[in-house]
Amino acid sequence: MARQACRGARGCVQSGRAAHCDQSIAREGDGCQLGSACAEGGGALLRCVKGEQILAQTCRGSRGCQVAGERVSCDSTLAKTGDPCLDEGTGACRDDRAAVLICRGARYAELRPCPGEAPCGGDQHEFSCRVEKRQ
């Protein structure tokens, strides 16, 4: 098992005889017990698998990966083709907004290209090529 590191804002806190390790921020390969963490720098979500933090999903959206209390969230609205993803069938925009992506087999794949006048846009649930309104 890899060594555990307490990289989260609360670090390692002693409470009586027990110690609590804040692992909400981690590096790939860090030891862990369970749950998810943000990668240092906020660009990815890590998951604890068999006692080791592994890359689960990139968080290329404007909010990146964030920790709020005990909750870890990942803005995966933007991705690169081939990036890891968690939820089969979910969408994203390619990071250059030139295509709509879909999660297939734990990786983002191109679903359809977007022409220059209709860049990809959307929210956490629905993505499409959108015609920009000119003023």
Instruction: Tell me which long-range contacts 120-128 makes (C-beta under 8 A, separation of at least 24).
Output: 120/93, 120/94, 121/93, 121/97, 122/77, 122/91, 122/93, 123/77, 124/76, 124/77, 125/91, 126/91, 127/77, 127/91, 127/92, 127/93, 127/100, 127/101, 128/100
Query: What percent of the chain is modeled with pLDDT above 90?
Result: 61
65-98 pLDDT tens trace: 999 887 899 999 999 999 999 999 999 999 999 9
Task: Output the CATH code of domain 76-130.
Answer: 2.30.130.50
- Do domains 1-61 and 76-130 share one topology? The answer is yes
Structure confidence at residue 135 as a pLDDT band (50, 70, 90): low
The pLDDT tens digits of the residues spanning 37-69 come to 999 999 999 999 999 999 999 999 999 999 988
Select from 60, 65, 38, 57 the least CA-distant residue to 106. 57
Q: Is residue 122 pLDDT above 90, yes or no? A: no
The pTM (predicted TM-score) of the whole model is: 0.83
Mean pLDDT, rounded, for 22-44: 88
> Looking at residue 15, what is its pLDDT?
79
CATH fold of the domain at 1-61? 2.30.130
How far apart are alpha carbons 43 and 62 in whole angstroms?
A: 10
The residue ranges of every structural domain in the chain are 1-61, 76-130
pLDDT tier, 13 (very low <50, low <70, confident <90, very high otherwise): confident
Residue 1: predicted pLDDT: 47
Q: What is the pLDDT of residue 2?
A: 56
Average pLDDT over all residues of the chain? 88
Q: How far apart are CA 99 and CA 128, in angstroms?
A: 8
**CA 76, CA 85: separation in Å to the nearest integer?**
8
